[in-house]
Structure 1
Amino acid sequence: MALITGASRGIGRALAHTLGRGGATVVVNYKRNADLAEKVVAGIEEVGGRGLAVQADVETVEGVHSLFARVRDEFGRLDHFVSNAAAGAFKNILDLKPHHLDRSYAMNLRPFVLGAQQAVPLMDAGGRIVALSSYGSTRAFPTYAALGPMKAAIESWVRYMALEFAPYSINVNGVSGGLIDSDSLDYFYGVPGMADRASVFDRVPKQRPGTAQEVADAITFLLSPGAEYITGQTMVVDGGLSVVAPPFFADTSAPLSLPAHPTGEK
């Protein structure tokens, strides 16, 4: 029994279908688009799971409470809570207004904390909580100032929750995605003046963006019995992006540039 916020698209949708293939019951939370959410539910049921679409605006305190009240009324329990919904203004710091800062907190951090408070009493047999972060939690780049610090705070809350919830057999972890092919990535690179995305992908060791499914697979592992002894951690799914620094191989030339795949011949 799993609850995923913001599950009508992107990583949330991929995770819902993945859990459905394992026979899980998945609550698909959405804010506005009921049609998309119902399509996700249909996909879950096609692969052998059970789905329930629940409208709730987790940007509001009332929305978080109503979402978990529905779970409590329908099922009386919960195994997995995945805090996935996110939003933020992509602007330089000097252009941020107070409402941008308020919304960043209300949409990204508060639903995770309030959701965990609601989830723990429903996990009477233990459970898993996973929050989505991003590489902006530890790296700084243009227009991400309103969102990156919230992701850093999420990772800090993961550690504190892991400590307090361990006695209840509840593991809490984060998953930090890098450049993931999604609507959000399209919007980010559509900001006027933003760097060309192809030039950025050249800097990723895997030389491509990640997929929503690859992030969903990482979350699925953390929800699985195989991750029983993992808590308080943030798993990085970024194709190696966070381990590189200038000078980049993409900017070198012979004899330093990387050759084609080695043949083993000397």
Structure 2
Amino acid sequence: MAGRRFLVTGGTRGIGRGIVLAAARAGADVVTCYRSPGESVNSLERELAETPGKHRVLQADAADERDVARLLAECEASLGGVDVVVNNAGAFQPKLYPELGSADWAATVQGNLTAAHLVTQRALPLFDGGGSIINLGSTVARIGMVGGVHYTAVKQALVGMTRSLARELGPQGIRVNTVSPGRIATEALDELPAEAAEQQRRLFSSFAALGRLGTVEEVAQVVLFLAGDQAAYITGQNIHVDGCV
């Protein structure tokens, strides 16, 4: 990834954080963003400060048009453009369908699908000579999820967006793919009470053919593969990183 310029939205926690650190450690320059300040932001800034390259961590909401404009302006000013855009930022609150209100639906669409659209469209003029756009989907879009009709709907919509953008942007040398993780072990599990965390690990591990949760690093490595030259003929795809659920 040496010399490549990455924009990763929602990059201070979970899978996004793993992608940011993997890209930076592989030699990329990285700009990322977060919505709310906290120790995860501070610790990421410390880790990136110890990693060679140009790295910026900004407060910006990927679902807010003005914030996105400011974020991409920073990419242009700091990095001179972008080669890879990873649409990782997302928002989801579980809610059973009979209780799903219009505001819940709208917030999920805005925080996941519209955010990816805003960032992608604003980033296009910053690509120079091709590049890669990677959308973070979810395996639940294929298998369904109780209490997640709104979430699975927008994640499936991302797959359609990916396919159409791949066709439209292909002539410009820009590849577009989706990575759909299954259940991944992130710090969110560690923040649960020990008994609840262990129960969730056992339950979700039992769903996967490999009998375990995935790791943040395993998802990040697939993203880096899609960003790199070895994936030069891969576009319009939805790659599941889920241990076969």
Partner of 2:195: none
Percent of aligned pairs with the same amino acid: 32
Amino acid at match of 2:143: R
Which has the higher mean CA deviation after the structures are superposed, 195-204 or 99-108? 195-204
- Using the TM superposition, give the Cα deviation of residue 20 of structure 1 relative to its aligned residue in structure 2, in angstroms: 1.1
Higher strand share: 2
Partner of 1:62: 66
Instruction: Say which of 115, 118, 121 aligns to 2:125.
Output: 121
- Using the TM superposition, give the Cα deviation of residue 227 of structure 1 relative to its aligned residue in structure 2, in angstroms: 0.4
Amino acid at match of 2:168: E
- Asked if 1:91 corresponds to 2:110, the answer is no
Partner Cα distance (2:207, 2:133) in 1:
32
After the TM superposition, which residues 1-266 of structure 1 pair with which residues of structure 2 at under 5 Å, given as runs? 1-33=5-37, 35-183=39-187, 198-241=202-245
Unaligned 5+ runs, structure 2: 193-198
Partner Cα distance (2:72, 2:182) in 1:
29
Higher helix share: 2
Partner Cα distance (1:222, 1:214) in 2:
13
Partner Cα distance (2:217, 2:126) in 1:
28
Partner Cα distance (2:191, 2:90) in 1:
13
Q: Quick check: 2:29–2:79 contact (8 Å CA) kept in 1?
A: no
Q: Quick check: 1:89–1:146 contact (8 Å CA) kept in 2?
A: no
Structure 2 residue matching 1:176: 3-state secondary structure = strand
Structure 2 residue matching 1:172: 3-state secondary structure = strand
Cα separation, partners in 2 of 1:144 and 1:52, compared to 1, 3 Å = same
- After TM superposition, the runs of 4+ consecutive aligned structure 1 residues lying more than 3 A away are 183-188
Amino acid at match of 1:156: G
Query: Deviations for 1:48-89, whole angstroms, at most 9, x for unmatched residues?
Result: 333111110112222222211222233331111000011112
Cα separation, partners in 2 of 1:187 and 1:148, compared to 1, 3 Å = farther
Partner Cα distance (2:176, 2:34) in 1:
23
Relative to the length of structure 2, the TM-score reads 0.90
Unaligned 5+ runs, structure 1: 189-194, 242-266
Relative to the length of structure 1, the TM-score reads 0.83
- Using the TM superposition, give the Cα deviation of residue 98 of structure 1 relative to its aligned residue in structure 2, in angstroms: 1.2
Larger Rg: 1
Structure 2 residue matching 1:82: 3-state secondary structure = strand
Larger relative CO (CA 8 A, sep 6+): 1 or 2?
A: 2
Q: RMSD of aligned C-alpha atoms?
A: 2.2
Q: Quick check: 1:38–1:53 contact (8 Å CA) kept in 2?
A: no
Partner Cα distance (1:52, 1:64) in 2:
15
